[in-house]
Amino acid sequence: MMDVPKKMRAMLLSAQRQPLKLAELSVPQPGAGQVQLKVHTCGVCRTDLHVLDGDLSEPKLPLILGHQIVGTVVALGAGVERFKLGQRIGVPWLGYTDGTCPYCQRGLENLCDHPEFTGYTLDGGYAEYAVADQRYCFPLPDSYSDLAAAPLLCAGLIGYRTYRLAGEHVERLGIYGFGAAGHIIAQVAAYQGKKVYAFTRPGDTVTQAFARRLGAYWAGGSDELPPDELDAALVLAPVGALMVTALKAVAKGGVVVSGGIHMTDIPAFPYHLLWEERVIRSVANLTRQDGEEFLALAPKVPVKTEVTPYRLEDANLALDDLRSGKLDGAAVLTI
Ligand SMILES: [Zn+2]
Ligand SMILES: [Zn+2]
């Protein structure tokens, strides 16, 4: 046991569509199979905005948001053997699966019938301490600072799953929405020899230049067609119309993958855009295998995360900046 206080500060969501409030809460205690963490940093994800804004309608309340937690293990619940005291680990969105439903049995635990999610149905990391089921935590590569590691845990992991579901034989990859996930996956794709075409809000030349610095072959506005037909496109902004825009940019057999948990309605479109075996699909959550693969790959690239730090008590400001699209890269709370 390390020295852990009884009380902690947390940014608490009491009701949706209201700002988070700084609160003093009891430090959560680890149950069987859980680790207790002193939180160092926690990434701010667009999903947090969807929970706050009510687009995702079934959070636990009151709730501590945050599912990209970097922390040090300060206590072990009964039976924990994967991690030791003092070890730095990461906690992602997937917080629990039943292991027995038909999806879990098929290796699709991301689609589990009885899942729990960190910072949605379980308390997350906008707080000084957190607990997590050891089975869903990841050791983190040493080469990343606490700040730089946080965005790997959702933007990186779910971005990676989105990228992987675009298929193996992709040479020309479009990325619509160049935020936290986009800037990470662009680096992975460039490292793997793909040509990356980055699409930003029209006129956002700053983010387009950022994309080129990270290895994008071409960057432009989402109102533009790329100079070449794409083999696949990832849609990483919560804008349904971009699914149709991306369909227009992909070649025969091309795949358009949505990486987000929520999106505005996809407008009707003529069948010929889908014809010739084009595919649109979504990605839900992550599997632990996605996490292990991505966290092994990231330091080899090496993926560099662009991070804007905020203090815990400024979580509302971080969420507002994310909503307004002011950020290049990822917002991270330092705790
Ligand atoms: Zn997320
Ligand atoms: Zn299951």
pLDDT category of residue 328 using cuts at 50, 70 and 90? confident
Residue 184 CA to ligand 1 center (angstroms) comes to 13
Query: How many whole angstroms separate alpha carbon 316 and alpha carbon 318?
Result: 5
Residue 97 CA to ligand 2 center (angstroms) comes to 5
What digits encode the pLDDT tens for the residues 105-130?
A: 999 999 999 999 999 999 999 999 99
Does the pLDDT value for residue 311 go beyond 80? yes
Centre a 10 Å sphere on the Cβ of residue 106 and count the other Cβ atoms it contains: 9
What digits encode the pLDDT tens for the residues 175-213?
A: 999 999 999 999 999 999 999 999 999 999 999 999 999
Query: How many whole angstroms separate alpha carbon 149 and alpha carbon 147?
Result: 6
The DSSP code for 122 is B
Residue 237 CA to ligand 2 center (angstroms) comes to 28
Residue 104 CA to ligand 2 center (angstroms) comes to 4
Query: How many whole angstroms separate alpha carbon 293 and alpha carbon 295?
Result: 6
Residue 91 CA to ligand 1 center (angstroms) comes to 11
Token readout for 246 is 């991306």
Taking residues 321-332, report their average pLDDT: 88
Helix orientation angle between 180-191 and 205-213, rounded to the nearest 10 degrees: 30
C-alpha distance across the termini of the chain, in Å: 21
What digits encode the pLDDT tens for the residues 203-215?
A: 999 999 999 999 9
**Sheet-wide strand order for 63-64:** 21-26, 7-13, 63-64
Residue 117 CA to ligand 2 center (angstroms) comes to 13
Token readout for 45 is 């994800």
Token readout for 109 is 């635990």
Residue 64 CA to ligand 2 center (angstroms) comes to 24
Residue 150 CA to ligand 1 center (angstroms) comes to 11
Residue 277 CA to ligand 1 center (angstroms) comes to 30
**The CA-based dihedral angle spanning residues 167, 258, 65, 214, taken in that order and rounded to the nearest 10 degrees:** 70
Q: Give the mean pLDDT of the chain.
A: 96
Query: How many whole angstroms separate alpha carbon 267 and alpha carbon 161?
Result: 25
Contacts of residue 324, Cβ cutoff 8 Å, sequence gap at least 6: none
Contact 72, 139 (CB under 8 A): no
Identify the CA nearest to 151 among candidates 225, 271, 69: 69
Query: Model's pTM, two decimal places?
Result: 0.94
224: burial class by Cβ within 10 Å (0-12, 13-18, 19+)?
middle
Centre a 10 Å sphere on the Cβ of residue 86 and count the other Cβ atoms it contains: 9
| Ligand minimally distant from the alpha carbon of residue 161 | 1
